Amino acid sequence: MPKVKLPRKSTTIDMTAMCDVAFLLLSFFILTTKFKPSETLTVTTPGSVASKVAPQKDVAMVVIDKDGKVYMTFSDDAPKREIIESLNTTRNLGLTDEEMKNFKKGPFIGVPISQLKSLLDKPADTWPKIKFDGIPVLDTLNNEMIDWMRATADGFKGTKMNLLVKGDNASKYPSFKGVIDAFKKNDLMKFQMVTNPEGVPPGSELYNANMKGDAKE
């Protein structure tokens, strides 16, 4: 009896459901992704061969722009309420509760303390559009960074503070010196410099040391 040959058919896979899942996942990631906000203070940091990543939590950072103006900025988890309360008490600023709440929302501070109350009366989202004079640090008799660092140390009391300095490559030395003097006045001798990481130049001592270390391994 002859065998019955079954007709061969090509195998087909319905990809409709897979495409639906792919587009759903793509839509989910697009809608939930939090993009890094653009920096409100533009600073061109000097290059270095350091590979250590700057901390992102519990940060108090001093920023020095190319004109030598000095600013203070804090990470979102920093005790900003305690910092502004300490400054309000020591300098008798008379800040209201609403103004201190506005300080927590602000991206940075870059005005003399005498102008702080008027700044805190403005919505925090309008601050980047304001022309700031910077925190005074050049006058040794009126280095207001001393007050800011004292308040910052009080705010971080009992917790670890990551103190950073981010200076523009073209910033002036007197501003940097004023900041360091403020650190010394408050016994804050441990801080990190924020730089732009780059490769070790071939032939340099550090390059040769790294190459020897790799060879030993």
pLDDT at residue 14, rounded to an integer: 64
Per-residue pLDDT band at 54 (split at 50, 70, 90): confident
With contact defined as beta carbons under 8 Å apart, do 52 and 124 qualify? no
> How many other CB atoms sit within 10 Å of the CB of residue 120?
23
Is this model's pTM higher than 0.75 or not? no
At position 150, the amino acid (one-letter code) is: R
Residue 35 forms part of a structural domain = no
Q: For residues 79 and 68, what is the distance between their CA atoms, to the nearest angstrom?
A: 27
Per-residue pLDDT band at 53 (split at 50, 70, 90): confident
The secondary structure of 6-37, three-state, reads CCCCCCCCCCHHHHHHHHHHHHHHHHHCCCCC
Cβ-proximal residues to 52 (8 Å cutoff; 6+ apart), any chain: 192
Residue 23 forms part of a structural domain = no
Residue 156 forms part of a structural domain = yes
Residue 2 forms part of a structural domain = no
pLDDT at residue 135, rounded to an integer: 93
Overall residue count recorded for the chain in this entry: 217
Residue (of 59, 66, 60) closest to 45 by Cα position: 66
Report the pLDDT averaged over residues 83-92.
93
pLDDT at 40 over 60: no
Residue 11 forms part of a structural domain = no
Residue 18 forms part of a structural domain = no
What tokens were used for 216? 């030993």
For 96, the domain range is 47-196
Total count of domains within the chain: 1
Using alpha carbons only, give the angle 120, 126, 132 rounded to the nearest 5 degrees: 70
Residue 40 forms part of a structural domain = no
Higher pLDDT, 216 or 6: 6
Per-residue pLDDT band at 2 (split at 50, 70, 90): low
CA dihedral for 189, 154, 65, 137, sign (positive or negative): negative
Q: 118-151 pLDDT, tens per residue?
A: 999 988 888 878 888 899 999 888 899 999 999 9
Q: Tell me what the pLDDT averaged over the chain comes to.
A: 80
